[in-house]
Amino acid sequence: MDGILLVDKPAGWTSHDVVAKVRRILRHQVDGGQFVVDSEKLKTKTYKLKPIKVGHTGTLDPFATGLLVLVVGSYTKRAQEFSKLDKTYEAEITLGATSTTGDIEGEITPKSGQKPTEMAIREVLGQFEGQIEQTPHAYSAVKIGGQRAYKLARQGKEVKLEPRQVKVYRLEVLGYGYPKLKIVTEVSSGTYVRSLAGDIGEKLGTGAYLSALRRTEVGQYSVNQAVSLDSDLLEHLAK
């Protein structure tokens, strides 16, 4: 089996968890290369599957949900190609507070009690469309000297990341009721929505952090085409 597999990642799973599960499903068994389903529901079914390589093409944080593009077999050599595709996200931003990690998993600190109008928010969002300079958050997957920035940050080490040029093709309000702001954004590869949320909060003067994130598109691929992490996944792979 060579190609890509689109998976709708649930909250609470790391991207590595998803890859590991798919690898287990495709794991080659000594009994003639057959795989016997472990779940009670499908225990009697047997699928002929070959041992195969699996990787992902762009990390999603554990609290985030949505589209993971997995590369399978010989397509693992093309992982970088897929990782460079533009991405679309739906996000919930909480105003009036900041987080040490920029998201719901960090220590939350209340900030300004200002309640910006939706018009003011739309004006600020417009300032972030186009090519912008963005500094990745210290709790990001950017590598520093071969180590992930978030690992260094968790160790209490100082993390200094350089700003980079990214593109925000679209940034729109989906809904607003203070302190919750829901947006949709289409961005270039390498754009951090967590950093975008923090920058929006800073511009509004309220502070902000990312409280929910769902990736809906990667290039031409949509989460509507993805399979979920349940027994249907095995059925899909066996076709």
The 10 Å Cβ neighbour count of residue 107 is 8
Q: Residue 52 CA to chain centroid, in angstroms?
A: 24
Residue from 2, 17, 31, 61 carrying the catalytic annotation: 61
Residue 103 DSSP symbol: B
Cβ neighbours of residue 109 closer than 8 Å, sequence gap 6 or more:
97, 98, 99, 100, 207
Residue 85 · residue 202 · CB < 8 Å: no
Structure tokens, 51 = 């041992």
230 labelled catalytic: no
Alpha-helix runs per DSSP H in 66-188: 79-83, 118-126, 149-154
Residue 223 · residue 66 · CB < 8 Å: yes
| Residue 61 one-letter amino acid | D
**Residues that are catalytic:** 61
